[in-house]
């Protein structure tokens, strides 16, 4: 290779502020924001610096996208479904009940038109974004009592929001919003019967004293409302569009690299965390088949209700559903049968 003269004209210095929706204690998520910023800095030789702020430093975590739209910050790292209250369509790029697994979500976003639809939605909020991580399939969470049939959900107060909350409501449960710091006390006191959170690695951090497993020992799977949960970075679109082309490319490339690395971090960290949880008293339970089927049907009802009044939700959901059907057509062949054999061999020791 040869070396030539520098092209100084293309190298301004830019500093951005990025607010994360995730507290530092969720270190793989918050760490994803830091990793994204570090890569952008490194590949631009320090010319494009992104300072990362935890929720609360500039705006609360749930207001990250608002802050991007208002220009209070240049960028955010968030779950787009935190904007579910503005438009349920924001759930589609993050996760929807009985949606896709994490790899299928990435394929849909990058090669199935998904991220273009997401950016068409984000454009209405003055933003543009990319996938930047995935937790993988989440767990169903901790419950005080065993759930043996779908009917056992009746009257249960379960910490859950968005589309999952609406589906659970159709099954007779009561979705609750409970701050993380109050979860253990609420389960102990019986004002909460179950809590959905993330997956083993983050679930193990809700409480490290063993009180959580004592109050709610039954640890359910799968988290059918999040077969994968995608994280995004999003940028103020006007500021993004004003960047030099190389910096815009740096944002996209660093986001996708971050996506792979955050996913890898969760996949690598979850097994040991699952062991720790079980040693601390968590009893693994699969959701009963009739509950999954009732939830699948209820999800369809919720989707129809929202689609009837929200054409954007309908178009985004329909596109994702069509992709999902094709994905599982293929997934059931080699991916699933390979995993099936490996899991059975492992069980034999």
Per CB under 8 A, contacts with its own copies among 166-195 are none
Tell whether residue 70 is a contact of its own copies (CB under 8 A).
no
Tell whether residue 250 is a contact of its own copies (CB under 8 A).
yes
Q: How far is the CB of 45 from its own copies (least distance, A)?
A: 4
Choose between 209 and 345: whose C-beta lies nearer to its own copies.
345
Place of tokens 């438009």: 87
Cα 299 → chain centroid = 18
Write out the DSSP string of 37-74. HHHHHHHTTTSEEEEEE-TTTSS-GGGHHHHHHHTSSS
Neighbour tally for 119: CB within 10 Å: 16
Q: Give the helix ranges, DSSP H, for 178-229.
A: 183-189, 200-203, 211-215
Distance CA 200, CA 282 (A): 11
Per CB under 8 A, contacts with its own copies among 11-50 are 11-17, 39, 42-47
Tell whether residue 322 is a contact of its own copies (CB under 8 A).
no
Cα 56 → chain centroid = 20
Tell whether residue 154 is a contact of its own copies (CB under 8 A).
no
Q: How far is the CB of 192 from its own copies (least distance, A)?
A: 22
Distance CA 140, CA 220 (A): 5
Choose between 2 and 155: whose C-beta lies nearer to its own copies.
2
Choose between 83 and 129: whose C-beta lies nearer to its own copies.
129
Distance CA 260, CA 37 (A): 15
Per CB under 8 A, contacts with its own copies among 74-93 are 74
Tell whether residue 321 is a contact of its own copies (CB under 8 A).
no
For residue 129, list its beta bridge partners.
Answer: 234
Tell whether residue 272 is a contact of its own copies (CB under 8 A).
yes
Q: How far is the CB of 15 from its own copies (least distance, A)?
A: 5
| Contact in structure between 299 and 226 (CB atoms under 8 Å) | no
Per CB under 8 A, contacts with its own copies among 193-222 are 199-200, 221-222
Six token digits for residue 217: 């020992």
Q: How far is the CB of 77 from its own copies (least distance, A)?
A: 17
Among 227, 234, 303, 316, binds its own copies (CB under 8 A): 227
Residues in binding contact with its own copies, number by CB under 8 A: 102
């Amino acid at each position: 290779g040869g070396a030539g003269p520098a092209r100084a004209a293309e190298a301004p210095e830019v500093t951005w502020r990025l607010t994360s929706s995730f507290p530092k204690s969720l270190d793989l998520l918050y760490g994803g924001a830091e990793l994204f910023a570090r890569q952008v800095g490194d590949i631009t030789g320090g010319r494009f610096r992104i300072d990362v702020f935890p929720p609360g430093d500039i705006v609360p975590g749930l207001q990250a996208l608002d802050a991007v739209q208002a220009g209070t910050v240049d960028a955010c790292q968030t779950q787009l479904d935190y904007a579910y209250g503005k438009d349920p369509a924001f759930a589609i790029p993050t996760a929807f009940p009985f949606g896709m697994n994490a790899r299928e979500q990435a394929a849909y976003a990058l090669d199935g038109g998904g991220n273009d639809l997401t950016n068409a939605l984000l454009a209405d909020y003055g933003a543009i974004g990319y996938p930047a991580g995935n937790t993988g399939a989440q767990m169903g969470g901790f419950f005080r009592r065993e759930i043996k049939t779908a009917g056992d959900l009746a009257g249960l107060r379960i910490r859950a929001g968005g589309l999952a909350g609406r589906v659970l409501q159709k099954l007779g449960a009561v979705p609750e919003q409970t701050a993380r710091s109050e979860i253990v006390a609420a389960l102990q006191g019986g004002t909460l019967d179950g809590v959905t959170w993330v997956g083993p690695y983050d679930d193990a951090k809700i409480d490290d004293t063993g009180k959580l497993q004592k109050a709610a020992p039954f640890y359910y799977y799968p988290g059918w409302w999040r077969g994968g949960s995608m994280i995004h970075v999003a940028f103020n679109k006007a500021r993004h569009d004003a960047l030099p082309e190389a910096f815009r490319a740096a944002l996209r490339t660093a986001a996708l690299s971050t996506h792979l690395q955050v996913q890898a971090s969760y996949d690598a960290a979850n097994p040991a965390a699952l062991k720790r949880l079980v040693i601390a008293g968590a009893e693994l339970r699969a959701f009963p088949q009739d509950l999954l089927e009732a939830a699948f049907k209820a999800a369809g009802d919720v989707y129809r209700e929202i689609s009837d009044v929200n054409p954007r939700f309908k178009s985004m959901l329909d596109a994702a559903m069509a992709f999902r059907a094709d994905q599982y057509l293929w997934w059931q062949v080699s991916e699933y049968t390979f995993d099936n054999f490996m899991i059975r061999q492992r069980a034999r020791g």
